[in-house]
Amino acid sequence: MEQVVQNRVLLLRLWTGVAAVCELITGILGLADLPDGSKYLVGLICAYIAVFSVAVLLTEFSPLGLSKLINVFPFLEEYFGRGVFYIIIGSFTLQPVGKAGSFAIVSGVFMMVAGFFSIVAHYFWGENPTAERMGGGPYRPSGRGGDDELSNPLAASSEDYRPPSQF
Asked if the model's pLDDT at residue 152 lies above 50, the reply is: no
pLDDT of residue 110: 92
Q: Which amino acid is at 88?
A: I
Query: Which segment of 56-60, 69-73, 150-154 scores lowest on mean pLDDT?
Result: 150-154
Confidence of residue 121 (pLDDT cuts 50, 70, 90): confident
Asked if the model's pLDDT at residue 33 lies above 60, the reply is: yes
Backbone angles phi, psi at 64, to 5 degrees: -70, -45
More confident residue, 14 or 96: 14
What value does the mean pLDDT take over residues 150-162? 49
Q: Which pLDDT tens digit goes with each residue over 74-87?
A: 888 888 988 999 99
Backbone angles phi, psi at 96, to 5 degrees: -60, 135
pLDDT of residue 36: 64
The CA distance from 51 to 134, in Å, is: 22
pTM greater than the 0.85 cutoff? no
More confident residue, 145 or 44: 44
